[in-house]
Structure 1
Amino acid sequence: MTAPAAAVDLSVVIPAFDEEERLGATLDAVTGYLGESEGRWGTWEIVVADDGSTDGTRALVTDRRDPRVHLVTSARNRGKGSALRLGVAASHGRRVLITDADLASPIEELERLDKALSEGNAAAVGSRALPGATIRDRQHPLRELLGRAGNVLIRGIAVPGIRDTQCGFKLFEGDRAREAFAASAIDGYGIDVEVLRHFHRAQWQIAEVPVRWSHRPGSKIRPLDYVRVLADLTWLRARAARPADLVAVVLFLLMAAALYSGRLFDPDHRYLADSLQDQNQWEWFFAVTADNIAHLRNPLFSDLQGFPDGVNLMANTVMLGLTVPFAPLTLLAGPAVCLGVVMTLGLAATAAAWYRLIVKRVVARRGPAFVGASLAAFAPPMVSHANAHPNFVILFMIPLIVDRALRLCTGTRVVRDGIVLGLMAAYQVFLGEEPLLLAMIGMALFAAAYGVVDREAAKRSWRPLLNGLAIAAAVCLPLVVWALAWQFAGPQSYGSVPHGDNAGNSPLALLSFAERSLIAGDARRANALSLNPTEQNAFYGWPLVLLAFAVAVRLWEQALVKALAVTAAGAALLSLGPRFRIPMTDRVYPGPWAPFAKLPLFASVIEGRVAMICAPALGMLLALALQRLTAVRGRGTQYLGLLGVCLALLPLVPAPLKAVQRPATPAFFTDGAWRPYVRDGESLVPVPLPDAGNAEALHWQQRAGLGFKLPGGYFTGPWGDSRIGIYGAPPRYTSQMLRDVRYTGVIPAIGAKWRAQAKRDFAYWRAGALVVTPQPHDDALRKAVSELVGRDGKWVHGVWVWDLHQGS
């Protein structure tokens, strides 16, 4: 039938697809209710939007011959979203009611929705989730669980504040409904969220109203439809993103790729020279985790290194939060490729996360936010760790945790935000505990400073914050307690890891430039002021320090600036360690870190890393300064200010990380020639044993498909009765002697005692064979091993081999 041309007071739009069995009763109920209440609802119409039905749905509508009930049709089945778009476009009501064909919410509930619109709202959403809602004839528990889980994700993606977006009973102001549905693009069930998102972005008030609801048999929604809804909404969110945000993400990805360009395109054969042996270690972590997952073994332990004692992987920052989900890529493409992909994407994701936080909490302008996020993610300390410490580079969870903690301070949704914060913290534990500890230090510094400068904000925030943190702890601890118990009390667990008397930064390190600075890099000075190239934990440069000081002075009236300045300064001071020397003098003073130096957890922290907290704080100060500069009218002031920013940042622009050709793996490991020499329960012993100074054997083991076990290795494990953490396996007499030969070329006098000791050590390692590969002083090593075993080795596929099954 033809729709009436004149406007009506109420349009009821019913999407339908093969609803012959249920639609008739629904139309009877709706027309009967509206017909009995003509004075209440005025003129009305019912629009049935048929979505390409193949049964008698269309005839059921046309046979009614009621001019107020009319049909619009689609040539084929396209989905609920398409049908609603078609039906709402054909409506003429000052108000538009959307209801499903099964009338799961009785038409009488229209009273509640109409009351909400009469109070000034533009839309009223029927809800099954609010107090006062009545649910009868509940769905199957699995469907209900899927619905709740899907709805939580839907709210997080697209519609904040609405607890039940998918209830099919909604009342809208007519013109606004027609505008929102006309602007929609989703053809599936996700259109409900898309339309509500349109109302939310247009700042049209939405009310959520509890209604009666009952499950009706014959539902068209299947469990997979929840996945489709989330896919639709993810696409929706990506489409709605600002072009500047997309450009920022692409630029972050290009910056990360440029940093890793030296090995990005040939990761199997390129090695980050400044990673020392860390790249070998991290590739092994990815490989062994994937192997454990593939063979359904405990991902927290392995005896492929440190044999026979093994390695506590949870105590070795194996990053299960990434190595587990990326296990398929590791198995498919290899650990070298996977590590390169993860570190590149992770660094870009970290920059994007800081960008999102800065846009949301600090400045609205995208340009200043981009510059601030770039400093937060690509500051010299981050570039230094980018050589081979993914746990200090892949920090995308930290800005999310900071944002959720700030949400708690508002006190609006303490329970929900506390739960989410707990889940985030639990995941970060499996990404890296030390970065989480540093983030907590930074947040504590910021909270203390902000509380002092804005006491009213502190009074409003402290109670919901503490309540939310308690909820977060209650959620987090059960998720991580078993893994942490394994870490601190499981096999091969250890206590603190000593890093020398003082691993803090020199004050000069805060003002100097890092080795990998493109313009101002000074390798000799940077290495003299740091532990090694992967631990250049400060090096912000004196121009940036001066600029930060100038920004803090100029914008000191802002509470945020004061808190950020105190956070940066406090972190810099703590990074000096338990004691520090005044440069160019012999005066040594206790450092701010001294009270924490012997505390549990803190005792294992390399104090210089605390300076990494400065990076996001300085980035946010820089974003605030740039936003202020863009608002200044004077061209001269803008020019001088931007010139100062450029002069401070240019010396920090990083050069690509140094990459070299990787040494070829001896054919003995790649072609399987090792197999006859190693039986079940035995190990293959490279000479000297792999350790933190030379861990290439871990790469050989990976190239051999992790088919043999290694004594020694590069990991952190216990030593002695006190179980102090050390790098590698506890030294044995034979391993130490062979290591000395490798580095000096000097062979000690080897007699009966040395041979007896070697026999005991070989037995402890359950050695099937000893292997000497081409390396410095390999002639001396070959001679020493021959004297220990009592016979010469055999040249096999590029290495010297001593088969210990022949006796010695």
Structure 2
Amino acid sequence: MGWLSLPDPHIPLLIALPSIVLVLFLSIAAFFLEIVRKIGCKHSFERTDASDAFFEDPNSLKKVPCPSIFDNAEKYLSLIVPAYNEEHRLPAALVEMMSYLQKRAAADKSFTYEVLIVDDGSTDKTSKVAFDFVRKYKIDNMRLLLLGRNHGKGEAIRKGMLHSRGELLLMLDADGATNVTDLEKLESQVYATAKNKIDDKSLAESSNDIRPKLSDIEVSVFGSRAHLEKQALATRKWYRNFLMKGFHLVVLFTAGPGIRDTQCGFKMFTRAAAKKLFTNIRLKRWCFDVEIVYLCKRLNIPMIEVSVNWTEIPGSKVRLTSIAHMLFELTLIRLGYGLGIWKIYT
């Protein structure tokens, strides 16, 4: 009498495996879609939020009302500096900024400026350091916006942009990695692009001076470290290069071609461009830069990439784990805009 063959115990698992994979896929998709939906709902309330009602003047102890990006420009240039636990790196950067700005203002009486520091919920003495500078340079030229808790670099910049007064708005990092004088490279590209967008009649009426027109023309100029890529590849560890190359490919898939270095923290916008971009932006942390590129394309805002001088400053907050968070945010961009859940306001 032959032996009876017993059924393979793995067969039920193999049969159920496609269902398990499908359930897992649907669960992940539902998770992402719920996050996208929540971000969209929250953005509808925050889009033009002016809840930060005032700046504190450390000299007079009076409260200065916050301006709005929807107001007419009062300054020529606004510098927006996001800061999170930057008590050690911020002072040198601010000294360099103010030295440049004061020299330029002394040479050109029409040059007006403001530096807007946005403290993104720092737990060190960043706010004290910033207030010392505000006290020294006066609140008309330097202001500190306190967010109360940490939101992320993207949100800090968004708040700064929404409460700035400049015709041109420049975001730059608190570590001073990029020479502030390089803003003139970005500025010249703004003018060159703006001139191309002004017809001959308007140009003649403005006596070849387009400065009064700048706040009404949509232009964005991105500082770039792409020319330093070979040097960076040679000095970074192999796995960091592998991760960064992979990240760049995902960025290319998300935002499309056109900008080689989306992550450089040195970008300039005209007031009209900033108004559209920063009332639409949703991401609050790592990949808001990629979202800006995506929005520029969707809103037909010209983008120009300009090489800038850049130096590695110790104390970077970017970690290998940040790559995972970046990929997560890039997925949100694709889902949010791709499925039409995130509306673009014009």
Q: Helix, strand or coil: the match of 2:171?
A: strand
**Cα-Cα RMSD:** 2.5
Alignment of 1:18-167 (within 5 A): 18-38=85-105, 39=107, 42-64=111-133, 65=135, 66-67=138-139, 68-120=141-193, 122-130=219-227, 140-141=236-237, 142-167=239-264
Provide Cα deviations, 1:193-213, integer angstroms capped at 9, x if missing partner. Answer: 111211111111100111111
Aligned-pair CA distance for 1:25: 0.5
Provide Cα deviations, 1:442-469, integer angstroms capped at 9, x if missing partner. Answer: xxxxxxxxxxxxxxxxxxxxxxxxxxxx
Aligned-pair CA distance for 1:136: 8.4
Counterpart position of 2:296 = 199
Question: In 2, Cα distance between the equivalents of 1:3 and 1:31?
Answer: 23
Aligned-pair CA distance for 1:187: 1.1
With over 3 angstroms needed to count, the CA separation of the structure-2 counterparts of 1:36 and 1:187, relative to structure 1, is: same
Question: In 2, Cα distance between the equivalents of 1:160 and 1:3?
Answer: 41
Are residue 233 (structure 1) and residue 233 (structure 2) matched? Answer: no
Are residue 181 (structure 1) and residue 250 (structure 2) matched? Answer: no
Q: Helix, strand or coil: the match of 1:214?
A: coil
Aligned-pair CA distance for 1:147: 3.0
Does the CA contact (< 8 Å) of 1:48 and 1:61 recur in 2? yes
Question: In 2, Cα distance between the equivalents of 1:228 and 1:236?
Answer: 13
Provide Cα deviations, 1:284-327, integer angstroms capped at 9, x if missing partner. Answer: xxxxxxxxxxxxxxxxxxxxxxxxxxxxxxxxxxxxxxxxxxxx
Which structure's relative contact order is higher, taking Cα pairs within 8 Å and 6+ residues apart? 2
Matched to 1:127, the amino acid is S
Are residue 223 (structure 1) and residue 335 (structure 2) matched? Answer: no
Which runs of 5 or more residues in structure 2 are unaligned?
Answer: 1-55, 57-63, 68-72, 195-218, 342-346
Matched to 2:112, the amino acid is T
Question: In 1, Cα distance between the equivalents of 2:231 and 2:266?
Answer: 14
Does the CA contact (< 8 Å) of 1:3 and 1:70 recur in 2? no
- How many residues align structurally? 243
Q: Helix, strand or coil: the match of 1:212?
A: coil
With over 3 angstroms needed to count, the CA separation of the structure-2 counterparts of 1:137 and 1:163, relative to structure 1, is: closer
Question: In 2, Cα distance between the equivalents of 1:70 and 1:243?
Answer: 37
Provide Cα deviations, 1:689-742, integer angstroms capped at 9, x if missing partner. Answer: xxxxxxxxxxxxxxxxxxxxxxxxxxxxxxxxxxxxxxxxxxxxxxxxxxxxxx
Does the CA contact (< 8 Å) of 1:3 and 1:90 recur in 2? no
Question: In 1, Cα distance between the equivalents of 2:266 and 2:232?
Answer: 16
| TM-score of the two chains, using structure 1 as the length reference | 0.29
Matched to 2:246, the amino acid is A
Does the CA contact (< 8 Å) of 2:221 and 2:267 recur in 1? yes
Aligned-pair CA distance for 1:60: 0.8
Matched to 2:152, the amino acid is G
- 1:208 corresponds, among 305, 311, 322, to 305
Provide Cα deviations, 1:389-414, integer angstroms capped at 9, x if missing partner. Answer: xxxxxxxxxxxxxxxxxxxxxxxxxx
Matched to 1:151, the amino acid is H
| TM-score of the two chains, using structure 2 as the length reference | 0.65
Does the CA contact (< 8 Å) of 1:11 and 1:94 recur in 2? yes
Matched to 1:99, the amino acid is L
Provide Cα deviations, 1:66-122, integer angstroms capped at 9, x if missing partner. Answer: 221111111211111111111111111111101111121111111111111111161
Does the CA contact (< 8 Å) of 1:11 and 1:47 recur in 2? yes
Aligned-pair CA distance for 1:152: 2.8
Among the aligned pairs, what percent are the same residue? 33
Question: In 1, Cα distance between the equivalents of 2:174 and 2:233?
Answer: 17
Aligned-pair CA distance for 1:57: 0.4
Question: In 2, Cα distance between the equivalents of 1:202 and 1:95?
Answer: 19
Which runs of 5 or more residues in structure 1 are unaligned?
Answer: 245-808
With over 3 angstroms needed to count, the CA separation of the structure-2 counterparts of 1:34 and 1:158, relative to structure 1, is: same
Instruction: Return the index of the structure with the highest Cα Rg.
Output: 1
Question: In 2, Cα distance between the equivalents of 1:108 and 1:136?
Answer: 23
Q: Helix, strand or coil: the match of 1:20?
A: coil
With over 3 angstroms needed to count, the CA separation of the structure-2 counterparts of 1:148 and 1:30, relative to structure 1, is: farther
Question: In 1, Cα distance between the equivalents of 2:234 and 2:86?
Answer: 21
Aligned-pair CA distance for 1:143: 3.9
Does the CA contact (< 8 Å) of 1:135 and 1:213 recur in 2? no
Question: In 2, Cα distance between the equivalents of 1:20 and 1:138?
Answer: 31
Are residue 168 (structure 1) and residue 265 (structure 2) matched? Answer: yes
Q: Helix, strand or coil: the match of 2:282?
A: coil
With over 3 angstroms needed to count, the CA separation of the structure-2 counterparts of 1:243 and 1:169, relative to structure 1, is: closer
